[in-house]
Amino acid sequence: MSPAPVSLHNTLTRRIEPLQPLMPPRVTLYTCGPTVWNYAHIGNFRTFLFEDLLRRWLEHVGYDVFQIMNLTDVDDRTIKAARAAGKRLTEHTEPFTQAFFEDRDYLRIKPAHVYTRATEYMTPMIALVSRLLERGVAYKGEDGSVYFALAKFPTYGRLSRLDTRELKVGARVASDDYAKDDPSDFAIWKKSDAKDEAVGAAWDAPFGRGRPGWHLECSAMSLEEIGRRFGVQTLDIHAGGIDLIFPHHENEIAQSEGATGQPFARHWVHGEFLNVRGTKMSKRHGNFLTARDLREQGVDAAAVRLLFFQTHYRQPVDFTDEALDAAKEGVRRLDEFHARLRGAGSGEQGAGELTKLAEKMETDVSAALNDDLNAPRAVAALFDFVRAANRELDRGTGGGTGAALAAFERVAGVLNVLPTRKALDPELVRWVEERIAARDKARKSKDFKAADAIRAELSARGVEIEDTAQGTKWRMA
């Protein structure tokens, strides 16, 4: 089987390029996951949602995706937060890890095939540091930490297009995160201090007791997983938010390629930010909203997905209540259309105008998503179809509803933008059916006043009814 051609923007070349996995149909996808020092915000989830769509689309066209997501449960931030909470590291991070899984499920993000917790990968991390020391691309500083030697890795800066003349030769940086104007030898293993020991964030290693640098974690975990499972040292796709290009991904490349001599990832995909009034949503700016906030407000995940997918992943999105309301309305229209199509009898496979419209819609959606995951174009094609198909249904054109329903469900399923079906109370179902039977009886005996009263009674409890050739259909509004 040869999956359809998918092109994606590659940050390495700044071009849209066909995806060419090492071993098709397999695609190895590494997505940098959350730092579990606190709840993830919906900015983080914008990144995880674009990655979810990427994964779903690749699977839809026939790839066999293996997704790895890491959970950063040891780094500067988690240690600081554990200390502030007076807890051991894992005691502090585990509830946030579980919360992340709950939020992921609420947002209907497909679970990765493996979630690598950094604290569970100390052996490969220590082995990677040892290898970099052996190869002379890392050295132990007089402070006892191990640093990556930028001068020994001539291609450093390729991903972030760093002007290597700016490299601060001899300068060192120990913190996990730093700005682009500070490219220095960075810590891959940090000598432990009393603060690390206090929370249990210190491990023995041949080069001294300490803890891994954040960047090293992703290199070690991804190479361990693809090496052990598939015998390779190159990822097909590595993805994350644009803030990870420098220094995180630049450093991941240096460490991985410095150790293996092989390209680390064939394709680098980066998503733009979710902003609030033009400023990146972040804990630091205090302008954040968590997925659980939305869930508690009763927002259907379909609306969040639609909202994000209406903008290309390489364009910023501004989060506003109006945009969320518009997305909710969009989801409602999709649901209404879905119900209408289902009501029109899905068994019918005749070649009608609807079939033609559905075929065009699927072709347009495929072309859009194959072209650098252009979700807004795919969403537009879906809504164009809803409008045109509704017109056909208004005209009572026969045939093709079965094909239209199947196509609609396939596309809406990849985007996953139909509302969550609420389980109906059996008591309510019995009551509705009894009322509909009573209304039928009233209509048959031409007692339209009674029939209308029953319709109003149903409507008051949120039940919409529709009289069709096959009888009265109903649904919750």
- Position 317 contacts Zn ion (CB under 5 A): no
Closest among 119, 70, 115 to 91, alpha carbons compared: 119
Footprint (CB under 5 A) of Zn ion, residues 218-247: 218
Q: Which of 21, 241, 330, 352 binds ligand AMP (CB under 6 A)?
A: 241
Question: Which listed residue (10, 47, 78, 119) binds ligand AMP by CB under 6 A?
Answer: 47
Q: Which does 273 bind (CB under 5 to 8 A by kind): ligand AMP, Zn ion, none?
A: ligand AMP
In angstroms, the CA 28 to CA 265 distance is 10
Q: Report in angstroms how near the CB of residue 324 gets to ligand AMP at its nearest.
A: 16
CB 110 within 8 A of CB 52: yes
Q: Give the integer Cα–Cα distance in Å for 248 and 222.
A: 14
Residue from 6, 12, 19, 46 binding ligand AMP (CB under 6 A): 46
Cα separation, 413 vs 7, whole angstroms: 21
- Distance separating alpha carbons of residues 208 and 204, to the nearest angstrom: 6
Distance in angstroms (rounded) separating the CA atoms of residues 133 and 42:
39
Q: By the 8 A CB rule, do 236 and 22 touch?
A: yes
| Region from 26-34, 220-228, 449-457, 460-468 binding Zn ion, contact rule CB under 5 A | 26-34
Report CA 351 to chain centroid distance, whole Å: 37
Instruction: Report what 218 binds from Zn ion, ligand AMP, none; CB cut-off 5-8 Å by kind.
Output: Zn ion
Residue with smaller CB distance to ligand AMP, 49 or 341: 49
The listed partner (Zn ion, ligand AMP, none) that binds 183, CB under 5 to 8 Å by sort, is: none
State the minimum distance, in angstroms, from the CB of residue 311 to ligand AMP.
Answer: 11
Q: In whole angstroms, give the CA distance from residue 56 to residue 53.
A: 5
150 binding Zn ion? (CB under 5 A): no
Q: Provide, rounded to whole angstroms, the least separation between the CB of residue 441 and ligand AMP.
A: 57
Candidates 8, 12, 43, 55: give the one binding ligand AMP (CB under 6 A). 43
User: 20 or 315, CB closer to ligand AMP?
Assistant: 315
Kindly determine how many residues on this chain lie close enough to bind ligand AMP according to the rule CB under 6 A: 17
Nearest-approach distance from CB 321 to ligand AMP, in angstroms: 17
Task: Please identify which residue in 240, 258, 400, 402 interacts with ligand AMP, judged by CB under 6 A.
Answer: 240
d(CA 69, CA 239): 10
Helix (H, G, I), strand (E, B) or coil at 210: strand
The option from ligand AMP, Zn ion, none interacting with 390 (CB < 5 to 8 A, set by class) reads none
Give the integer Cα–Cα distance in Å for 11 and 267: 8
Residue 250: its H or E element: helix 250-260
* Residue type for position 399: G
Q: How far is the CB of 400 from ligand AMP (least distance, A)?
A: 40
Residue 247 touching ligand AMP (CB under 6 A): no
Give the dihedral of Cα atoms 420, 475, 327, 43; nearest 10 deg. Answer: -10
Residue 34 touches which member of ligand AMP, Zn ion, none, C-beta under 5-8 Å by kind: ligand AMP
Give the whole-angstrom CA distance, residue 459 versus residue 465.
8
Interface of this chain with ligand AMP, residues 9 to 38, rule: CB under 6 A: 32, 34-35
Pick the closer one to ligand AMP by CB: 372 or 392. Answer: 372
Phi, psi dihedral angles at 122 (to 5 degrees): -65, -35
Residue 47: contacted member of Zn ion, ligand AMP, none (CB under 5 to 8 Å, by partner type):
ligand AMP
- 179/11 Cα distance (integer angstroms): 19
- Among 6, 12, 19, 32, contact with Zn ion (rule: CB under 5 A): 32
Number of amino acids touching Zn ion (CB under 5 A): 2
270-329: contacts with ligand AMP (CB under 6 A): 273-274, 280-282
Q: Of the listed pieces 145-153, 238-246, 386-394, 402-410, which binds ligand AMP according to CB under 6 A?
A: 238-246
Q: Are 235 and 269 in contact (CB under 8 A)?
A: no
Q: Please check whether residue 313 is in contact with residue 334, taking contact to mean a CB–CB distance below 8 angstroms.
A: no
Counting every residue written for the chain, the total comes to 477
Is 379 an interacting residue with respect to ligand AMP (CB under 6 A)? no
* Residue 260 Cβ vs Zn ion, minimum distance, rounded to whole Å: 17
- Choose the contact partner of 266 out of ligand AMP, Zn ion, none; CB within 5 to 8 A by kind: none
User: In the 3-class helix/strand/coil scheme, how is 359-415 assigned residue by residue?
Assistant: HHHHHHHHHHHHECCCHHHHHHHHHHHHHHHHHHHHHCCCCCHHHHHHHHHHHHHHH
Helices (runs of H) and strands (runs of E) counted in the chain: 15, 17
> What residues make contact with Zn ion under the rule CB under 5 A?
32, 218
> What residues make contact with ligand AMP under the rule CB under 6 A?
32, 34-35, 43-44, 46-47, 72, 240-241, 243-244, 273-274, 280-282
